Structure 1
């Protein structure tokens, strides 16, 4: 009978030890998943990193942030296309690749003071709603961006491979000093 308390303590210790080993193994798999892409789903840290990189690219362009873009990156925006004379139906990307985007941003950066008002993500996409008030008219521009991502196994990091962005282009036009007339009004 005196063995029962010792066996109980031994069994409890064994259970605790095996549980701790199992927990540390599952935690290490979770870290590997976050760090190396695992089954190729974004984690919150990676989503926040890319969201912040996007905001920097649009708010305060720095060519160093181009490292977050894939070479086959594309940007599609009817809001931009209307201002630069490209088709609005999405058949032509605003910027067809990383180099076009970088060249444009280097020569004519947006420098919009983006304030993110909502952000969410899933396995491969980050969606954010933003506002920016700037320029001549100081009209609030509200926009939405869907940031497509891919995991780069060589760089061991997530990258932005697409942007789909829309915003109130009339408020933007006024902010950059443009004007428009509502049809049917003098």
Structure 2
């Protein structure tokens, strides 16, 4: 099949527009087969040299989850101190994680020295390994949205401060900590837009010709 139907393309466009960073979750569990299916789809992502450098860690330990929550509180307080005035007040209103509600937590890492792929395509741009992992995360995010699930990327964390707690191998680079679950609701527009933090720019603002 060289092209998909017009109906499929319209649904794909709707999916891309409907994806959200979710921070408010119901506590209903995610069925095991569904979670594994989503990870199988993420595993189909393109990767430099077919290296598949992503490593998925399903975080179920209450101790590890508590460590992440504590790390978020510290990092969030530090981040909040960097804003002043109305921007600081807006920051305080934002809900920036769903750690206490999301039934599933995923830590996604990048294997920075994979034997798989034999180094193809990354001698001059080794960062393409991490880029490949982000591709897998995006596929996971869209696949989850198609199933009615939400994902929230918790980026306000200090990965170095958590490496020891997770006992990560030296060659594993922390890329993303994700909350996964059934959202309370999907917003019509991103929450950061709704709260007045930022607005999405049109294509014309980010496209150049040279």
**TM-score, normalised relative to structure 1:** 0.26
Structure number, greater radius of gyration: 1
The one of the two structures with greater contact order (alpha-carbon pairs below 8 A, sep at least 6) is 2
